[in-house]
Amino acid sequence: MMHPVKIIGVGDDGANGLFPTYRQWIEEADTLVGGERHLAFFPESSADRIPIKNGLHKVLERIDRARHHGRVVVLASGDPLFYGIAGLIARKLGQEHVEVHPHLSSLQLAFARMKESWQDAVVESVHGRKLEGLAQRIDGKEKVALLTDAANAPSAIARYLIRFGMTEYRAFVAENLGGERERCGWWELEEMAEASFSPLNIVILKRKSDADPPRWGLGIDDHEFAQRKPDKGLITKKEVRVLSLSEMRLAPDSVVWDIGAGSGSVSVEAARMAPYGQVFAIEKNEADLSNIEANKMKFRADFSVIHAKAPDGLDQIPNPDAVFIGGSGGELRELLQVCCDRLKPGGRIVVNAATLETLHQTREGLHESGFNTRVTMVQTARSKPILNLTRLEGFNPVFIIVGWR
């Protein structure tokens, strides 16, 4: 008879925090799997030990072999199905061959120490991941729980938030939950940025009751963006920007190329629309890069900026789900060919053209790559006061060209 693999959640108090039945299963195990910290909780076990280190694929193969010859118990932190290993094991072995027995998760314990409900909290993990993109994912949220690691420690998180001006938050840091060295407390971000913490921690951000953070909806007003002076205008106007973004059909995890980013207005809005994706702003003019960085900070949009004249610089970034071309520097046909070749299935290319020549080149280039096209001409006007009256000030027409397979 083949026994199911038992995946047991363990707290920082080790065996003391487990039900007697769980301890019996661990004592009877022929193979014990877990991180070195988890295995050290059970020094008296005579089972074969498989430490979980780098290279989970080999560990999973060893678990699969071991279950044919005896009882296998996998030890994991807290709830093994909450950013844990249990889901991966179930997919590898089949759900019918595993049992999951959770302990209290670090999230449950942290909110218990904080003495606040957590059904309204947003949960994000920066454990083993970059902080990049966190700003737009949590902006506007009242309560955010962050799973951390040694690199993305509370101090690094605080510095990141301060950089993006997200000082409306206080932080509750819970360390070594359930263990003898447990420590929990509230921190201001400025204090947290300079402090040291245990590697085992969870950070909960809570917006201050008197905070009034900025709110930015779709279609940010042009004057809000840092732009090149004195020759302003290197920005996709709000009305055209909104229509162009709608044509890109972005998903929350889209990869976006913004070529000829200028002030970065399209990148800012795309990053906020695709908070779990990746946005790359490609701009050849060095004078515009500081404006793009300033707009990133102001609008809490953490995307990548590449100083290059496209198509240079595109070979180092992932294939896009959507491409926006606001400027090409005269290499439009070559650039369109690269974008068409790299575009993911179902993706869209959106080009803004202010001249008939650019419109013609864009349509020809997209058709040569076998793309369908649609053109929309946008001509808008905005009200402007004149004495005690109001007139309309018109903008030059812009062609929005959309290409798709």
Question: Which among 343, 346, 349, 304 is positioned nearest to 326, based on CA atoms?
Answer: 349
Provide mean pLDDT across the span 280-307.
Answer: 96
- Rounded Cα–Cα distance for residues 399 and 333 (Å): 17
Cβ(282)–Cβ(261) under 8 Å?
yes
Instruction: Express each pLDDT in 168-199 by its tens digit.
Output: 999 999 999 988 899 999 999 999 999 999 99
Question: Would strands 169-175 and 304-307 be described as parallel, antiparallel, or unpaired?
Answer: unpaired
> How confident is the model at residue 53, as a pLDDT?
83
Provide mean pLDDT across the span 204-223.
Answer: 94
Instruction: Express each pLDDT in 335-355 by its tens digit.
Output: 999 999 999 999 999 999 999
> How confident is the model at residue 96, as a pLDDT?
95
> How confident is the model at residue 331, as a pLDDT?
82
Question: Which among 123, 199, 111 is positioned nearest to 155, based on CA atoms?
Answer: 199
Question: Would strands 255-259 and 278-283 be described as parallel, antiparallel, or unpaired?
Answer: parallel
Same fold, 5-104 and 222-404: no
Tell me the torsion sign for CA atoms 354, 358, 360, 366.
negative
Instruction: Express each pLDDT in 32-88 by its tens digit.
Output: 999 999 999 999 999 999 999 877 889 999 999 999 999 999 999 999 999 889 999
For the chain, report the end-to-end CA distance as a whole number of angstroms: 54
Radius of gyration of the chain (CA): 27
Classify domain 222-404 by CATH architecture: 3-Layer(aba) Sandwich (3.40)
Residue 360's contacts (CB-CB under 8 Å, 6 or more residues apart) are none
Classify domain 107-207 by CATH architecture: 2-Layer Sandwich (3.30)
Asked if residue 2 has pLDDT above 90, the reply is no
How many angstroms from the chain centroid is the CA of residue 262?
A: 24
Instruction: Express each pLDDT in 352-397 by its tens digit.
Output: 999 999 999 999 999 999 999 999 999 999 999 999 999 999 999 9
Asked if residue 229 has pLDDT above 90, the reply is no
Looking at the domain covering 5-104, what would its CATH class be? alpha beta
Q: Contacts by 148-155 with C-beta closer than 8 Å and gap 24+?
A: 148/201, 148/202, 148/203, 149/199, 150/199, 152/126, 152/127, 153/197, 153/199, 153/201, 154/187, 154/192, 154/195, 154/197, 154/201, 154/203, 155/192, 155/193, 155/194, 155/195, 155/196, 155/197
> How confident is the model at residue 346, as a pLDDT?
97
Instruction: Express each pLDDT in 103-150 by its tens digit.
Output: 999 999 999 999 999 999 999 999 999 999 999 999 999 999 999 999
Domain boundaries, the chain: 5-104, 107-207, 222-404
Q: How confident is the model at residue 327 (pLDDT cuts 50, 70, 90)?
A: confident
1-5, 259-263, 359-363 — which is least confidently predicted? Answer: 1-5
> How confident is the model at residue 55, as a pLDDT?
77
Instruction: Express each pLDDT in 145-164 by its tens digit.
Output: 999 999 999 999 999 999 99
How many residues make up the chain in this entry? Answer: 405
> How confident is the model at residue 329, as a pLDDT?
65
